[in-house]
Amino acid sequence: MNIYDIAKLSGVSIATVSRVVNGSEKVSEKTRSKVLDIIRQEGYTPNVFAQGLGIGTMHTVGILVPTISDQYMAKCVSYLEDQLTVHGYDCILSCSGFSIEGKEARTQMLLSKHIDALVFVGSTYSGSGESVEETDYIREAAKQAPVFIINGYVKGDNVFCRLCDDRTAMREAVGALLAHGRKDILFLTDSRSYSAREKTAGCIEALEGAGIPVRDEMFLHTENRIHAVRDYLLSINPVFDAAVATDDGIAIGAVKFAQEKGLSVPGDLCVIGYNNSSLAVACNPELTSIDSRAELLCRETIDNILAILHGDASIPACSIQPGRLISRKTTDF
């Protein structure tokens, strides 16, 4: 029995249960009596999470990423840690890897530290889309602490998702390429995550909307290493006049391929990356990229964490922000 169960049996929010447990005056006597009756009936003893929603907070937030070596993940972690520290919260960081077993194990480890909230960074935590059971461990975690997911979507009680509209952003980017005369567009990805699937769908929608055949050979899966992408493309030597990628590093691999082949960028080949990372401006020529609004998603997540931990039950479960195409020198528009 936990605070989630008490809230469900009482027909109120977990924030309301917390107010009752901590003696807050912001609860009607009728509601207080109902919650206390359930607590007595069930023999419930308030745990750290319940106290954390009131005056007994541990002031600690757990952050889980698949890997810190990824620029997007590192950027999010840096922002989260900086801003949570400003608000008086410590952070515990853990890297889960990409296996379900690793994700479940590291989630349980963080929960064992009596954290006040748990943040998952990255769409890999939304699962592969093959089964709902892949994300059951997140819904179970949300029974112990509020869960926040950055750039991923999992439906469940006490789970709050903030993400970029990757499908629309990719559809508009591919649409811009098509509008400027590009017909043979290569799609490059290293992932089958929720975000990657949304980006793939956006590309397909743009092609179908323009009456361009969707060809399987134009959708390639590759490593996210610049030279590995370059070498892979050199080995298969595809014919294309534009490339879109699910990450800037992959896109730069396509730029390197063009340079090896003596193709001009953007004259012969336009290239668009994703995430608008520091790699985009380090690339020569500078890379056009889609800004996935990482800082905004992190800022919203922090605001929501603070609101939930202070008893605000009005936070929406999901919020989606539009991506932005940042044009640089690898496109001609």
Residue 29 structure tokens: 């006597």
- 166-291 adopts what CATH topology? Rossmann fold (3.40.50)
Q: Alpha helices, DSSP H only, in the chain?
A: 3-10, 14-21, 29-42, 48-52, 71-86, 100-111, 136-141, 166-179, 194-209, 226-236, 248-261, 278-282, 294-309
Separation of alpha carbons 2 and 146, rounded Å:
13
Amino acid 179 reads A
Residue 40: the pLDDT is: 84
CATH number for the region 3-52 comes to 1.10.260.40
Residue 87 structure tokens: 């608000």
pLDDT over 70 at 22, yes or no: no
Separation of alpha carbons 322 and 320, rounded Å:
7
Q: Which residues contact 60 (CB under 8 A, 6 or more apart)?
A: 89, 90, 91, 92, 113, 114, 115, 116
Residue pair 315/308 in contact by the 8 Å Cβ criterion: yes
| pLDDT above 90 coverage of the chain, percent | 76
Residue in 134, 62, 132 with CA at minimum distance from that of residue 95: 62
- The three-point CA angle 69-71-76 to 5° equals 105
Could you report the per-residue pLDDT of 67-95, keeping only the tens digit for each? Answer: 999 989 999 999 999 999 998 899 999 99
129/105: higher pLDDT: 105
CATH number for the region 60-164+294-323 comes to 3.40.50.2300
54/21: higher pLDDT: 21
Could you report the per-residue pLDDT of 221-259, keeping only the tens digit for each? Answer: 999 999 999 999 999 999 999 999 999 999 999 999 999
Question: pLDDT band for position 43 (50/70/90)?
Answer: confident
Residue 57: the pLDDT is: 59
| pLDDT above 70 coverage of the chain, percent | 94
Could you tell me which residues are beta bridge partners of residue 157?
Answer: none
For residue 331, what are the CA distances in angstroms to 242, 243, 267, 271?
A: 9, 10, 8, 6
Q: Is there a common fold for 60-164+294-323 and 166-291?
A: yes
**Domain spans of the chain, in order of start:** 3-52, 60-164+294-323, 166-291
Q: pTM of the full predicted structure?
A: 0.81
pLDDT over 60 at 304, yes or no: yes
Could you report the per-residue pLDDT of 90-120, keeping only the tens digit for each? Answer: 999 999 999 999 999 999 999 998 899 999 9
